[in-house]
């Protein structure tokens, strides 16, 4: 296996530069998307050059979806440890990993159905299917709560905020998981499990 990895990396070293580096047109297309800020050195954030192999819009949509999930995950991880558990529930621990096995199967089914309904509405909207009450043919994307600003400056600001919060949440969730299994690895988290 080790020899295979060495052969693959050595073959990649002899690839022509155009196959390894994103083109200038791709870089220009990336630079028009929200996400360029002081945290990324005021340049496009694609350290692994993944945009040269995949659709940029798909990558951004995936980043936003993962960021939104991470924001919910961080709140779900920290909330019980700071504010306590909901009364009368089947979960008796604030340890997030141990709590997974204490959640009743009916609750898991409800969560899966809720997520499935939201995803189905999003897919229906993207394909143009009239999925009332969420369908709005004039909307640029799936926004059932109508929280997206109408003015371009507000739109750009909101997109950048969501992207930054999502990126921070992904890093925070990774830190919480590492801290759970190795408490000395992440400073300043204290007694969080």
Report the greatest alpha carbon distance in the chain.
63
Is 165 one of the annotated binding-site residues?
A: yes
Is 63 one of the annotated binding-site residues?
A: yes
Count helices and strands in the chain by DSSP H and E runs:
7, 0
Helix (H) or strand (E) holding 65: helix 56-83
Structure tokens at 77: 């991880």
DSSP string, 15-48: S-HHHHSPPHHHHHHHHTSTT-SGGGTTS---TT
Contact 78, 50 (CB under 8 A): no
Is 21 one of the annotated binding-site residues?
A: no
- Block residue for tokens 């750009």: 156
Is 68 one of the annotated binding-site residues?
A: yes
Residue ranges of the annotated binding site for chlorophyll b are 68
Residue ranges of the annotated binding site are 63, 68, 161-162, 165, 167
Residue ranges of the annotated binding site for chlorophyll a are 63, 161-162, 165, 167
């Amino acid at each position: 296996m080790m020899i295979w990895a060495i052969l693959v990396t050595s073959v990649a070293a002899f690839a022509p530069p155009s196959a390894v580096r994103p083109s200038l047109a791709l870089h220009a297309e990336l630079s028009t998307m929200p996400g360029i800020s002081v945290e990324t050195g005021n340049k496009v954030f694609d350290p692994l050059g993944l945009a040269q192999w995949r659709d940029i819009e798909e990558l951004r949509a995936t980043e936003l979806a993962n960021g939104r999930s991470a924001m919910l995950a961080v709140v779900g991880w920290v909330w019980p440890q700071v504010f306590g558990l909901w009364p009368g529930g089947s979960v008796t621990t604030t340890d997030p990993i141990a709590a997974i096995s204490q959640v009743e199967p009916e609750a898991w089914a409800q969560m899966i159905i809720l997520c499935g309904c939201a995803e189905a509405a999003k897919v229906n909207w993207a394909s143009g299917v009239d999925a009332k009450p969420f369908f709005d043919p004039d909307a640029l994307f799936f926004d059932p709560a109508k929280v997206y600003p109408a003015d371009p400056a507000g739109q750009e600001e909101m997109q950048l905020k969501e992207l930054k919060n999502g990126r921070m949440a992904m890093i925070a969730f990774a830190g919480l998981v590492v801290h759970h299994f190795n408490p000395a690895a992440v400073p300043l988290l204290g007694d969080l499990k």
